[in-house]
Amino acid sequence: MSLKSKVESKEINDLFWERHLTLSTAESCTGGLLSAAITAIAGCSNFFKGGVVAYSNELKERILGVRHETLETKGAVSEETVIEMVKGAMKNLETDCAMATTGIAGPSGGSPEKPVGTIWIAAAHGEHIVTKKLEGDEGRELNALYATEKVMQLMLDLLQKIENEEEK
């Protein structure tokens, strides 16, 4: 993990503490790196309830509530799937917020439509959900690390945006 992601972790930690929010994760291509980044910060036990590493479509459906139809028509690596993953994490782990990742970390598994390095990330706070598509292959490990950093930044940006709107 880079220093930048540790700073983001600290900022997220502070925001969750201040707002008394709870957090969960739903991971596929990051394989637990996101949960590890969160739990690396002292005090996270006050807001982080846990996460699900749902690598298979079966677990995405059974544990996170991703619809079979979504996986069949849009694929596991899609905006629709990551939205259902983040919603399922909030619902099934009973948290205020969640982060989710799904993608093709590599080195194989890509296609012309979805090449290696295609990753969808999502951050959610209640009904507020933001997503982002990441593209570019820097190798399996770096793809997963990049997705972890980006989804944490997405969560931070979402919480700060909501906080700013509430202050107006």
Residues 123/158, Cβ–Cβ less than 8 Å: yes
Residues 81/67, Cβ–Cβ less than 8 Å: no
Residues 121/132, Cβ–Cβ less than 8 Å: yes
Residues 96/23, Cβ–Cβ less than 8 Å: yes
Residues 116/102, Cβ–Cβ less than 8 Å: no
Examine the pLDDT at 3 and tell me if it is beyond 50.
Answer: no
Helix (H, G, I), strand (E, B) or coil at 161: helix
For the chain, the farthest-separated pair of C-alpha atoms sits apart, in whole angstroms, at 48
What tens digit of pLDDT does each residue of 112-121 get? 889 989 999 9
Which pLDDT belongs to residue 111?
85
What tens digit of pLDDT does each residue of 133-166 get? 999 999 899 999 999 999 999 999 999 999 888 8
Query: How remote is the C-alpha of 73 from its chain's centroid?
Result: 22
Q: Higher pLDDT residue, 10 or 28? A: 28
Spell out the domains of the chain, with CATH numbers in brackets. 3-160 (3.90.950.20)
Examine the pLDDT at 1 and tell me if it is beyond 60.
Answer: no
Examine the pLDDT at 5 and tell me if it is beyond 60.
Answer: no
